[in-house]
Structure 1
Amino acid sequence: MSETWTIAAAQYPLHRVRDFKAYAEHIHTWVEEGARRAQLLVFPEYASVEIGGMIEGPEGLNSKNLLRVIARWRPELDELHAQLSRRFGVYILAGSCPSVDHAGVVRNAARLFAPSGAMGVQDKLMMTRFEDEEAGVSPGRGPQVFDTSLGRIGIATCFDIEFPLITRAMVEAGAEVILAPSCTEALHGYWRVRVGAQARALENQCYVVQSPLLGRASWLHGFEQNTGAAGVFAPPDGEFPADGVVALGAMNAPGWTYAEIKFDALARVRHEGAVFNYKHWGLQPGATPLPAVLQPLD
């Protein structure tokens, strides 16, 4: 495990692509830039929906049908990101993608790709009203933790980061970095995710990394407007900033936001900090151990 490495969180704007080749070239450009400085690249929730622009007349599809059509491209999306991960020697959290199982159930799948060619999947667990009432997306299986050469990593997609027990299960399985890709229409949504991200960083004394979807996409029902800023958050203690903000992008400005991940600084906070949030979790009334599945990803 590397004690210090660099992460890049995308502030990724939706744009209309004419075909999959154009989409692949666009993602290649983003990965090539991010890989110059970082070892892990994080793309936002639902960033894959921009391939809906390839569909003839996407404006006529409601969000439920749109996601089912986009899900057909999952194999090509996975192969593209696996190739880019191998080529540039970086881990990539691809933009989450709708996935349809053999029973026809749609889930929101975040996929983490390793340079070795391995892929880990974390389905979103908590559905927003949009997903539940309009888009027909269902909760996935429970929390996963991915054991990588960079350390143990968890993924709490957007709304998931607003629920403490999900992240806690990952942390108890050894995760010290939680990735929180997000897709929010307005500032209220952005701040709900950010407040959740900073709260999880505080109570678990871990890193949480937010990567937002940006831009307007009038041709994609349910994704017409997207707002946010990328952020890397840590516990407000020890060597970390007093507000816990390690790095923060400019609101609604496309690009990468970079930060150094320092596990030794986390360890010092957990063992020598002013408070012991991580260690004292079990002292809360009703606190019980939580299960998460640990998966090797190398």
Structure 2
Amino acid sequence: MIDSAKIELRNLKVQDYQELKVSMIKSYHKMPDEYWSKEEIRTLVNKFPEGQFCIIIDNKIAGCALSIIVDYGKFDDNHTYDEIIGGENFSTHTKNGDVLYGIDVFIHPEYRGMRLGRRLYEARKELCEQLNLKAIVFGGRIPNYAKYAAELTPKKYIEKVKLQEIHDPVLSFQLSNDFHVKKVIKGYLHGDFESKEYAVLMEWNNIYYVKEQKLIDTKKTVVRLGLVQWQMRSFSDYDALVSQIEFFVDAVSDYQSDFILFPELFNAPLMAQFNNLTEPEAIRGLSSYTDQLLQTFRDFAITYNINIITGSMPQAIGEHMYNVGYLCRRDGSYERYEKLHITPAEEAAWGMKGGSKLETFDTDCGKIGVLVCYDVEFPEVSRLLAEEGMNILFVPFMTDTQNGYSRVKICAQARAVENECYVAIAGSVGNLPKVNNMDIQYAQSAVLTPSDFAFPVNGIKAEATPNTESTLLVDVDLDLLKELHNFGSVRTMKDRRKDLYSLKKKK
């Protein structure tokens, strides 16, 4: 270990060859004749200079990583080392390839223990992303395998290394750097007796890889959400309600928002005209406006170029009453969602029935899900949506007391953590006189996040002032979710014990 060394990571130059040769011989002391010639290094540097990295410490080469780009579809996974590199001229290298293939990594013994290998691997990953390549692939040696070959097959050896029951200086390091085992190759590198000429084909997938970049119809990675914290108030008629809806849609769209979210049963003020009826009759009266509101929202989505999550509205279908809402896309299309879990109060007062429709929705900003209020308190439901690729969960809610609000918010935060997604919640505030069963409202709308280094430490991206009519405008970065899925401190979606339990929708 060098206590006060100056470390420089840069691209390799032909002029570095003499120092490189010394480092290679020291690194491969059990194969002292296996080092790159100067002409080979010259060819690599000339063909693909950005793919050759070295680490310099005190003017010495402490480590090196060499690579080429290949069209991987032209090779079988059972390739040999000589086949994949294309001989001393590296004839397989092509700028039109899709995979960064690692052909060598080594660290001088004097500088081991300084995590220099990690720096080289990170440089490769960054290059892979910059060049928009699909993956990094290489055949990794397993130099400790010879000690166990008499008792363990390569497969068993790899399993024990994964479980950290055996340490392999190469494979253990590669696994800790987010590479996964693709397969075992026999006869990969002639003369590698430590590995018994086996190699482990390793792969790291570039989550940012885009096969074909389009100028239009691409999915956005930074998405702007607009949440309406709706003030319950009396409206003289339907047109007055629509005017207030349009005010919010107009205001939020002026900020180039991609979505606007309204609360659950935001149109409840229109029930005042049915106050002389029983509660079940009044909610049926309110449901008579739902089809009109749907058309209004569809028109606004197109006019204001924004995707609208309409909160929820009552809808009578035959003798049953449902709590439903719509995703109105800015291209004019729309989808219907239903509240699945009905609270005891909704059932007692209005005779509400739970829906049966559960699915994610495709948008120009990726896959989303919508769960209405009480639904977010059932973790199985959002997990099913997450398994379908949901990135943002919208939760329109209506709660009368702070207790009810806390249930919604706390459960929504849990859904964000366990499903590695963003959760946007929006509710109504204030009082609504002359409407039975809708007297008071409490809400604090918010955008909630997973809990890891890339996100706020409290898991709250932004939140509105409690019990005050307002809008909340928040940008969420979908690329951060990709990072979390693959490289998070914990990976709740990947680490589930599917060998012990499973979850699926009933048909």
TM-score, normalization by structure 2: 0.55
- Which of 463, 484, 487 is residue 272 of structure 1 equivalent to? 487
Aligned mates of 2:460, 2:498 — CA distance in 1: 27
Contact kept, 8 Å, 1:156 with 1:178, in 2: the verdict is yes
- Which of 1, 10, 19 is residue 237 of structure 2 equivalent to? 19
Three-state SS of the structure 2 residue aligned to 1:30 is: helix
Three-state SS of the structure 2 residue aligned to 1:125 is: coil
Q: Percent identity of the aligned residues?
A: 24
Offset at 1:291? 3.2
Contact kept, 8 Å, 1:143 with 1:292, in 2: the verdict is no
> Match of 1:18, as an amino acid?
S
Partner of 2:416: 201
Residues 25-78 of structure 1 show CA distances to partners (whole Å, capped at 9, x for unaligned) of: 11111111111221100000111212224x2xx333343222110111111111
Structural mapping, 1:197-236, within 5 Å: 197-236=412-451
> Match of 2:458, as an amino acid?
D
> Number of residues paired by the alignment?
288
Three-state SS of the structure 1 residue aligned to 2:340 is: coil
Pair 125,154 (structure 1): closer, same or farther in 2 beyond 3 Å: same
Aligned mates of 2:493, 2:236 — CA distance in 1: 48
Structural mapping, 1:169-188, within 5 Å: 169-188=384-403
Contact kept, 8 Å, 2:275 with 2:282, in 1: the verdict is no
Aligned mates of 2:472, 2:379 — CA distance in 1: 25
Structural mapping, 1:10-89, within 5 Å: 10-37=228-255, 38-53=257-272, 55=273, 58-89=274-305
* Higher RCO (CA < 8 A, seq sep 6+): 1
Deviates more, 1:164-173 or 1:275-284: 275-284
Offset at 1:283? 4.3
Offset at 1:292? 9.1
Offset at 1:87? 0.4
Aligned mates of 1:67, 1:172 — CA distance in 2: 35
Aligned mates of 1:203, 1:180 — CA distance in 2: 16
Contact kept, 8 Å, 2:430 with 2:468, in 1: the verdict is no
Partner of 2:172: none
Three-state SS of the structure 1 residue aligned to 2:355 is: coil
Structure 1: runs of 5 or more not aligned? 294-298
Partner of 1:290: 504
Offset at 1:282? 4.2
Partner of 2:220: 2
Offset at 1:285? 4.4
> Match of 1:134, as an amino acid?
A
Three-state SS of the structure 2 residue aligned to 1:137 is: coil
- Which of 319, 340, 354 is residue 125 of structure 1 equivalent to? 340
- Which of 86, 91, 97 is residue 307 of structure 2 equivalent to? 91
The structure with more radius of gyration = 2
Residues 104-126 of structure 1 show CA distances to partners (whole Å, capped at 9, x for unaligned) of: 21000021101121111110001
Structure 2: runs of 5 or more not aligned? 1-218
1:191 maps to 2:412? no
Pair 113,292 (structure 1): closer, same or farther in 2 beyond 3 Å: farther
Contact kept, 8 Å, 1:61 with 1:221, in 2: the verdict is no
Aligned mates of 1:201, 1:167 — CA distance in 2: 9
Aligned mates of 2:395, 2:367 — CA distance in 1: 15
Partner of 1:154: 369
Residues 190-241 of structure 1 show CA distances to partners (whole Å, capped at 9, x for unaligned) of: 0000001000001011011100111100211111101011010110102101
Deviates more, 1:164-173 or 1:19-28: 19-28
Contact kept, 8 Å, 1:169 with 1:292, in 2: the verdict is no
Pair 201,150 (structure 1): closer, same or farther in 2 beyond 3 Å: same
Aligned mates of 2:280, 2:494 — CA distance in 1: 43
Partner of 1:296: none
